[in-house]
């Protein structure tokens, strides 16, 4: 199979999808799956952190906190609709 060509936005979506699948994954494995350099993945993770997307590192492996991700996504969708989040 030939090398996949994607832009940054597409790659960030693919990266989130990898994390959403639930497995802990290393930078090396992410880079191999997305066919980019490890440096590119470091930059992508930095972009996701700037957006406050809850990605955590433990023993060299990365994972998306699924509960926090759903909360983050819900808050963003409410903000787009101009609604406030209900507090418990």
What domain range is 19 assigned to?
A: 10-81
Q: Indicate the pTM of the whole model.
A: 0.73
The confidence score (pLDDT) of residue 3 equals: 60
Tell me, what CATH number does 37's domain have? 1.10.10.10
Is residue 2 one of the residues assigned to a domain?
A: no
Is residue 3 one of the residues assigned to a domain?
A: no
pLDDT above 70 (res 20)? yes
Are residues 27 and 46 in contact, defined by beta-carbon separation less than 8 angstroms?
A: no
**Distance between CA atoms of 67 and 87, rounded to whole angstroms?**
16
Q: What is the pLDDT of residues 33-88, one digit of tens each?
A: 999 999 999 999 999 989 888 888 888 898 887 777 778 778 878 888 887 656 55
Total domains in the chain come to 1
Q: What are the tokens at 8?
A: 């940054």
User: From the CA atom positions of the chain, what is the Rg in Å?
Assistant: 14
- Report residue 10's pLDDT band, with 50, 70 and 90 as the boundaries: very high
CB atoms inside a 10 Å sphere around CB 15: 24
Is residue 53 one of the residues assigned to a domain?
A: yes
Quick one: average pLDDT of 24-34? 93
């Amino acid at each position: 199979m030939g090398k996949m060509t994607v832009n940054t936005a597409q790659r960030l979506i693919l990266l989130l999808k990898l994390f959403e699948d639930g497995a802990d994954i290393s930078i090396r494995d992410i880079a191999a799956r997305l066919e980019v350099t490890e440096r590119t993945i470091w930059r992508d993770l930095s972009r996701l952190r700037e957006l406050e997307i809850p990605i955590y590192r433990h023993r060299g492996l990365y994972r998306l906190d699924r509960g926090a991700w759903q909360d983050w996504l819900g808050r963003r969708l409410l903000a787009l609709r101009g609604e406030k989040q209900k507090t418990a």
